[in-house]
Every structure is written in structure tokens, then in C-alpha cells.
A = this chain, B = another copy of it.
């Protein structure tokens, strides 16, 4: 999860979620950052609307609950 947390931290802080950013954050937290995992993360997030993905996550359980008759 550290890599995700780092990405979300950058996103929430209004920063660009890129390799350098994630690496800097992880390093500051004392994590020995794995370059290939960072690359994979950034590649996976390419084209993803993070804000939308997050708000869907918040809404989903409610929908489930409401839908149960």
C-alpha cells in the first residue's frame, strides 16, 4: 500500500503523480523504493481520473445498502 499512499498523498496535495514524486515521498518515509514498482504504478494510473475513482469508492457501499430490498 505504501506506493498507493504515496500516489494519493501527491494527488491530494495537488501535485503531479509521477515517478520522481512517488520516489521522493517513499524515500522520505524511509521506504527503499523499488523503481520498477513505481514505474508500474505510474503506468497503471496513466489516464485514470483519480478523483472520480475515489468518489466512486465512497459512493459504492451506499448504493449496495440502498439496493438491498
List chain A positions with a Cβ less than 8 A from chain B: 1-2, 5-6, 8-10, 12-15, 21, 24-31, 34-37, 39-41, 43-44, 53, 55-69
Contact = CB atoms under 8 A, between A and B. Distances in A.
A25 B34 contact: no
A26 B13 contact: yes
Query: Which are the 6 A-B pairs with shortest beta-carbon distances?
Result: A61-B61, A28-B28, A65-B65, A68-B68, A57-B61, A40-B40
A21 to B, nearest CB: 7
A51 to B, nearest CB: 11
13 contacts: A9-B25, A10-B29, A25-B25, A35-B36, A36-B43, A57-B61, A58-B63, A59-B65, A60-B64, A62-B63, A63-B68, A66-B69, A68-B69
